[in-house]
A and B are shown apart, each in its own frame.
Chain A
Amino acid sequence: MDIHVVYYLVISTIMLFAGIYGFFTRKNLLAVLISVELILNATNINFAVFNRYLFPDVFEGHFFALFGIGIAAAETAVAIAIIINIYRNIRNIQTDNIDELKG
């Protein structure tokens, strides 16, 4: 039995927008980071699904998804490091308190 491609896409779209929403609204940097992971994973799902349904005899989409996972892991490591540094400096990780970018 074959699951229809739309279901996958609905899931990934929900994940994507949930991620975007979370990225904009969550005030805790860790929650923001998790939201970013959601966005990345939504795209990974899309890569895998489109590869599986549209071009079943090649594997580029699968490999791209693997790369995405790897990059997400690296990015998470970097982000965590930044968050820890922020925490050391201002003793919390609320986004409201991080406005040093202002000129």
Chain B
Amino acid sequence: MEFNYTILILLLPMLSFLVLGLAGMRMKHKVAGAIGTTVLGIVAVLSYLTAYLYFGNGRSADGTFAPQTPWNFEWLPFTTNLHIDMGILLDPISVMMLIVISTVSLMVHIYSFGYMKGEVGFQRYYAFLSLFSFSMLGLVVATNIFQMYVFWELVGVSSYLLIGFYYTKPEAIAASKKAFIVTRFADLGFLIGILIYGYYAGTFTFTPETKMLVAAGGMIPWALGLMFVGGAGKSAMFPLHIWLPDAMEGPTPVSALIHAATMVVAGVYLVARMFPLFIVYAPDVLHWIAYLGVLTAFYAAAVACVQTDIKRVLAFSTISQIAFMVVALGVCIGADTHEGLGYMAGMFHLFTHAMFKALLFLGAGAIIHAVHSNEMSAMGGLRKYMPITHITFLIACLAIAGIPPFSGFFSKDEILAACFQFSPVVGWMMSIIAGMTAFYMFRLYYGIFWGKENKELHAHHTPHEAPVSMSFPLIFLAAVTCVAGFIPFGNFVSSNGQSYDIHLNAQVAITSVCIAIVAIVLATIMYLKEQQPIADRLAATFKTLHQAAYRRFYMDEIWMFVTKKIIFRCISTPLAWWDRHVIDQFFNFTAWSAQASADEVRGMQSGRIQSYCIWFLVGALVFTLMLLLI
């Protein structure tokens, strides 16, 4: 088998995790970082090689790229039918994800050299990065839904570990717990979905027998819907998005890798993976997912317009962009390349978004590194001090805003075209949200690089350009962002595997570009200058709305209310009472009675021969009496 080496893509990061995790503290920072980065470099090379060989092999007779499973072994054999396998599945989307993950992960590894320099726990950081890379790669190459679930939880754990990397900071601990609990809660739905799926489809693989699925009838939509609950948790869909903005407490490169480019698109990947089933057996569920995506995209874009913490803005922009991908998948109305345009568009956007969003986060990291603050008020006028960061950040902003010729334009155009094809209402809404995207991204851009300089902050610390280890990934990703749009993506990934030539939908393209330009101009008028009278006046006029958006429309408060006031008070408190007073007391009683009787029995063991004799005598008398009486 020519793809046998792909096992190395998984084994190397795991090995690196073990080495760095067990022996890392005895290494120098540089050695530990070099091990992690080298391993990821090898993984990236192998991933590119895999993509080259896989797509270079050509299509099989039916015009698709045949899926390959170079490795698949029975991990947990329960019965002959029910067994959980572990393996590697190569098909267009998993190969595409391998490239995304290994590229972004490698860039983040290099970048962290500069960003995390001198941090306590540098080796631990690299160990966790390796663990994350291993889990994420394992997730995308999973041959069956259960393997996916196992790695799904592993990425959850590594995300938890990395968000809580600064474990002496209370906010970081709270954020890591929040992320873990929220996603874990959502994963309960995923697990139930998997079990229903496994029961009715009779297999955990992605290609069950058609007759089983037909026999299952109404249960398959339930299974897929529940699986999407897990996906919504990981991909921060409304209302399970609350963990993602808080997750920004982690180191910025981690946010770039996990909470922007790779892990949070796992939900999208899950839907794409189950897409053949969705489109045939549960198109309604798919469309509901699309509506949820529209809601999420709008909500997150609205919140992003007023946040002041640059990482929070990026976090909400991530939520919004992931919702774009989800919408794209949800608006598919058929499996062929034309009706399933959204599938290709969603995957394309996943690919381009991973690159430019990682770039945005890494740029934000460079800025935070320079000014030692996340708040926009500490920034302003940074373009003079940080030219490379400025240019790359601008490229990423243009890409996410959907300005040609940057990559985001092409993928977003396909998404919008797919939306218009589904329904004009959704299409227009998504166009407006795309405009909002352009607006808040340029608000962020002007807030950081233009506007008022914070002189007093700069007086004792002049911002400076990031070191080479940090600017190289920026330049690399910016270059990718410039050219990625021209990749004939539809030739590699499409809803039914057939080749699809992307052709720009002129009407949609012109509309979306116009909206984006208007939004950018609006942002320029409002935020370019040192004084921002229009923005201030708007904020003052719509004070309630502004405040509500700033507080993220009180979603956290609502969740706090639901958990604390309803779940804790009505369910947990009585359960705790029952546990403490009935169950615990019952076991306390058994323990107490055992102890009391043991005390009694122990008293007989006095060691005094005479008391033993008395017991002997009593026993003898009792037996005599029994003999006499019976």
A residues sitting closer than 8 Å to B (CB atoms) are 20, 23-25, 32, 95-96, 98-103
Given contacts A20-B617, A24-B614, contact A102 B606 (CB under 8 A): yes
* Per-residue A-contact encoding for B603-615, CB less than 8 Å = 1, 0 else: 0011111101110
Contact B617–A95 (Cβ < 8 Å): no
Q: Which residues of B contact A101 (CB under 8 A)?
A: 607-609, 612
Contact B607–A24 (Cβ < 8 Å): no
Contact B608–A103 (Cβ < 8 Å): no
Q: Which residues of A contact B605 (CB under 8 A)?
A: 102-103
* Per-residue A-contact encoding for B589-624, CB less than 8 Å = 1, 0 else: 000000000000000011111101110010000000
Q: Which residue of B lies closest to A99 (CB)?
A: B607
Which residue of A95, A100, A102, A103 is within 8 Å of B610 (Cβ)? A95
Contact A99–B606 (Cβ < 8 Å): yes
Contact A23–B613 (Cβ < 8 Å): yes
Q: Which residues of A contact B607 (CB under 8 A)?
A: 98-103
* CA gap between A101 and B617 in the complex, in Å: 19
* CA gap between A96 and B610 in the complex, in Å: 9
Q: Which residues of B contact A95 (CB under 8 A)?
A: 608-610
* CA gap between A96 and B609 in the complex, in Å: 10
Q: Which residues of A contact B614 (CB under 8 A)?
A: 24
Q: Which residues of B contact A23 (CB under 8 A)?
A: 610, 613
Which residue of B608, B613, B617 is within 8 Å of A99 (Cβ)? B608
Number of B residues with CB within 8 Å of any CB on chain A: 10
Q: Which residues of A contact B608 (CB under 8 A)?
A: 95-96, 98-99, 101
Q: Which residues of A contact B610 (CB under 8 A)?
A: 23-25, 32, 95
* CA gap between A96 and B613 in the complex, in Å: 14
Q: Which residues of B contact A32 (CB under 8 A)?
A: 610
B residues sitting closer than 8 Å to A (CB atoms) are 605-610, 612-614, 617
Question: How many A-B residue pairs lie within 8 Å, measured between CB atoms?
Answer: 29
In this complex, the member of B607, B610, B612 whose beta carbon has the largest number of chain A beta carbons within 10 angstroms is B610
* CA gap between A38 and B608 in the complex, in Å: 21
CB distance from B621 to the nearest CB of A (A): 11
Q: Which residues of B contact A100 (CB under 8 A)?
A: 607
Q: 6 closest Cβ contacts across the A-B interface?
A: A102-B607, A99-B607, A101-B607, A99-B608, A24-B610, A24-B614
* CA gap between A24 and B612 in the complex, in Å: 10
* CA gap between A101 and B605 in the complex, in Å: 9
* CA gap between A95 and B613 in the complex, in Å: 13
Q: Which residue of B lies closest to A25 (CB)?
A: B610
CB distance from A66 to the nearest CB of B (A): 27
Contact A98–B617 (Cβ < 8 Å): no
* CA gap between A6 and B503 in the complex, in Å: 130
Subset of 23 A-B contacts with CB under 8 Å: A20-B617, A23-B610, A23-B613, A24-B613, A24-B614, A24-B617, A25-B610, A95-B608, A95-B609, A95-B610, A96-B608, A98-B608, A98-B609, A99-B607, A99-B608, A100-B607, A101-B607, A101-B608, A101-B612, A102-B605, A102-B606, A103-B605, A103-B607
* CA gap between A87 and B479 in the complex, in Å: 100
Q: Which residues of A contact B606 (CB under 8 A)?
A: 99, 102
In this complex, the member of B609, B613, B614 whose beta carbon has the largest number of chain A beta carbons within 10 angstroms is B609
> 16 new A-B pairs (CB below 8 Å) besides A24-B617, A95-B609, A101-B607?
A20-B617, A23-B610, A24-B610, A24-B614, A25-B610, A32-B610, A95-B610, A98-B607, A98-B608, A98-B609, A99-B607, A99-B608, A100-B607, A102-B605, A102-B606, A102-B607
* CA gap between A86 and B422 in the complex, in Å: 103
CB distance from A97 to the nearest CB of B (A): 10
CB distance from B620 to the nearest CB of A (A): 11
Q: Which residues of B contact A96 (CB under 8 A)?
A: 608
Q: Which residue of A lies closest to B608 (CB)?
A: A99
Q: Which residue of B lies closest to A26 (CB)?
A: B610
Q: Which residues of A contact B609 (CB under 8 A)?
A: 95, 98, 101
Q: Which residues of B contact A99 (CB under 8 A)?
A: 606-608
Q: Which residues of A contact B617 (CB under 8 A)?
A: 20, 24
CB distance from B605 to the nearest CB of A (A): 6
Q: Which residue of B lies closest to A32 (CB)?
A: B610
CB distance from B213 to the nearest CB of A (A): 68
Q: Which residues of B contact A24 (CB under 8 A)?
A: 610, 613-614, 617
* CA gap between A24 and B606 in the complex, in Å: 14
* CA gap between A93 and B605 in the complex, in Å: 20
Q: Which residue of A lies closest to B614 (CB)?
A: A24
* CA gap between A102 and B612 in the complex, in Å: 11
CB distance from A21 to the nearest CB of B (A): 11
* CA gap between A24 and B608 in the complex, in Å: 11
CB distance from A35 to the nearest CB of B (A): 10
Q: Which residue of A lies closest to B605 (CB)?
A: A102
CB distance from B598 to the nearest CB of A (A): 14
* CA gap between A15 and B429 in the complex, in Å: 113
Q: Which residues of A contact B613 (CB under 8 A)?
A: 23-24
Q: Which residues of B contact A98 (CB under 8 A)?
A: 607-609
Q: Which residue of B lies closest to A20 (CB)?
A: B617
* CA gap between A65 and B32 in the complex, in Å: 94
In this complex, the member of B606, B608, B612, B613 whose beta carbon has the largest number of chain A beta carbons within 10 angstroms is B608
CB distance from B617 to the nearest CB of A (A): 7
CB distance from A46 to the nearest CB of B (A): 18
Q: Which residues of B contact A20 (CB under 8 A)?
A: 617
* CA gap between A24 and B617 in the complex, in Å: 10
CB distance from B604 to the nearest CB of A (A): 10
* CA gap between A96 and B608 in the complex, in Å: 7
* CA gap between A102 and B607 in the complex, in Å: 4
* CA gap between A101 and B613 in the complex, in Å: 13
Q: Which residue of A lies closest to B612 (CB)?
A: A101
* CA gap between A20 and B607 in the complex, in Å: 19
* CA gap between A101 and B604 in the complex, in Å: 12
CB distance from B593 to the nearest CB of A (A): 23
* CA gap between A96 and B607 in the complex, in Å: 10
CB distance from A76 to the nearest CB of B (A): 17
* CA gap between A37 and B612 in the complex, in Å: 19
* CA gap between A58 and B610 in the complex, in Å: 39
CB distance from B618 to the nearest CB of A (A): 11
